[in-house]
């Protein structure tokens, strides 16, 4: 929102109509002597240089605009942004994101194209975290192994950077859902947040790791952590292509996507959450928004004003426009002001 610290400066704009009236009344006019050059009874001489007239018009227009910009600069314009500053802790939301090779399957609808499951998941998470800034967000990457990439934090910029750097296959093949959930629980169990939840986004069944998903779900329930599970992807034969991080080779082909949603529904129920089937980015964003609203907690906050002073910008603009007006009249038209 633009505000002016010195609005009285706009009174200088009255100089424009005043100057126009005075010039119309004959003030500030150059002394001239009329001279008619024509044949006897013929037409008088007229100056018909269209380019020169256009130059004169633009010179005057630039001069007027330069004066207006100068007046705005004198009014000291500032752009004021209101930033919400939270003074109490919000909810902790930790995403457990599957990065196994099957997440490179390109079968998720985004507008008129298909994107990979991992790209869709990252886009949905980015949209949510950018819009809902009261909570703390964390990220666990999971495949045959799992690691906490970002512990719960309110540093959204750091979170999004780490999320963007995540690629398919970095943590091996397979889906160790139990280990991924246990890693998330470990980083949430000691939190004093009013609400804590885990959002598991995967496209497969548990086929790796030594911890059973139900064991992890029970552990989450014991620690007051809600678990939401997302089964992302369509069923059937889908195209897949990704770069193997170990060999650097491109792997491509077709993947037979057909997993049982029952286990994901069961572990979500154990930990007091819900299961969501995801086949498009629109459904994913809507589901994440539902979770954010459900896990929202009351927080105290205040607004802080961040001001950007635009005085120098308008002053430079005024100088530039005055220069253009001078250049046209003194150089282009070879005429003294």
Percent of the chain that is helix, strand, coil (3-state, to 5): 40, 25, 30
322 contacts 337 by C-beta, under 8 angstroms:
no
**Kind of pairing between the strands at 136-142 and 146-153:** antiparallel
Predicted pLDDT of residue 31: 58
pLDDT tens-digit series, residues 177-223? 999 999 999 999 888 888 999 999 998 777 787 899 999 999 999 99
pLDDT of 130: 85
pLDDT above 90 covers what percent of the chain?
39
Amino acid 88: pLDDT:
61
- The pLDDT, as a whole number, for residue 16 is 80
Q: What are phi and psi of 76, to 5 degrees?
A: 55, 70
> What integer pLDDT is reported at residue 336 of this predicted model?
42
Q: Residue 273: CB partners within 8 Å, gap ≥ 6?
A: 197, 226, 227, 228, 229
Does the structure show a pLDDT above 60 at 39?
A: no
Measured on CA atoms in the order 219, 268, 145, 165, is the torsion positive or negative?
negative
pLDDT in tens, 265-282: 999 999 999 999 998 999
**H-state helical runs in the chain:** 15-24, 50-74, 117-131, 156-164, 177-188, 213-222, 262-270, 281-294, 311-326
Q: Tell me how far apart the alpha carbons of residues 294 and 278 are, in angstroms, rounded to a whole number.
A: 19
- Burial classification of residue 223, based on how many CB atoms lie within 10 Å of its CB (0-12 exposed, 13-18 middle, 19 or more buried): middle
Query: Which is more confidently placed, 86 or 296?
Result: 296
What local confidence, expressed as pLDDT, does residue 275 receive?
A: 94
Taking domain 88-294, whether its CATH number is 3.40.50.410 is answered by yes
pLDDT at position 48 is: 52
**DSSP, residue by residue, 16-39:** HHHHHHHHHTTTTPPP--------
Which H/E stretch holds residue 229?
A: strand 225-232
Angle at 99 between CA 192 and CA 246, to 5 degrees: 125
User: Residue 55 has what pLDDT?
Assistant: 79
> What gap in Å lies between CA 134 and CA 88, rounded to an integer?
9
What percentage of the chain exceeds 70 in pLDDT?
Answer: 88
Q: Name the pLDDT band for 25 (thresholds 50, 70, 90).
A: confident
Task: Assess whether pLDDT exceeds 80 at residue 87.
Answer: no
Delimit the domains of the chain by residue range: 2-33+47-80+305-332, 88-294
pLDDT in the model for residue 38 = 56
Please report the pLDDT score of residue 212 as a whole number: 92
* Nearest-angstrom CA–CA distance, 275 and 228: 6
């Amino acid at each position: 929102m633009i505000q002016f610290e010195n609005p009285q400066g706009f009174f200088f704009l009255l100089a424009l109509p005043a100057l126009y009236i005075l010039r119309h009344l004959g003030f500030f006019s150059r002394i001239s002597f009329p001279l008619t050059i024509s044949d006897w009874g013929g037409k008088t001489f007229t100056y018909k240089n269209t380019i020169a007239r256009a130059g004169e018009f633009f010179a005057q227009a630039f001069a007027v605009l330069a004066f207006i910009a100068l007046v705005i600069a004198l009014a000291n314009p500032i752009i004021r942004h209101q930033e919400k500053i939270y003074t109490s802790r919000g909810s902790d939301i930790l995403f457990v994101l599957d990065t196994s090779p099957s997440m490179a399957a390109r079968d998720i609808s985004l507008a008129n194209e298909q994107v990979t499951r991992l790209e869709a998941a990252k886009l949905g998470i980015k949209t949510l975290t950018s819009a809902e800034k009261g909570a703390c967000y964390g990220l666990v990457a999971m495949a045959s192994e799992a690691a906490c990439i970002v512990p719960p934090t309110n540093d959204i910029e750091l979170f999004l950077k780490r999320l963007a750097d995540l690629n398919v296959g970095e943590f091996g093949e397979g889906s160790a859902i139990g280990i991924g959930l246990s890693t998330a629980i470990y980083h949430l169990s000691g939190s004093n947040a009013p609400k804590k939840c885990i959002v598991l986004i995967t496209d497969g069944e548990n086929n790796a790791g030594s911890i059973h998903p139900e064991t992890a779900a029970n552990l989450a329930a014991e620690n007051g952590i809600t678990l939401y599970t997302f089964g992302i992807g369509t069923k059937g034969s889908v195209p897949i292509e990704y770069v193997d991080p170990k060999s650097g080779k491109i792997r491509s082909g077709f993947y037979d996507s057909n997993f049982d949603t029952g286990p994901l529904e069961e572990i979500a129920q154990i930990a007091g959450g819900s299961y969501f089937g995801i086949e498009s980015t629109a459904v994913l964003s809507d589901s994440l928004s539902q979770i954010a609203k459900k896990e929202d907690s009351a927080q105290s906050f205040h607004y802080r004003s961040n001001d950007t002073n635009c005085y120098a910008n308008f002053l430079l603009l005024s100088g530039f426009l005055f220069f253009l007006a001078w250049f046209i009249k003194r150089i282009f038209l070879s005429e003294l002001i």
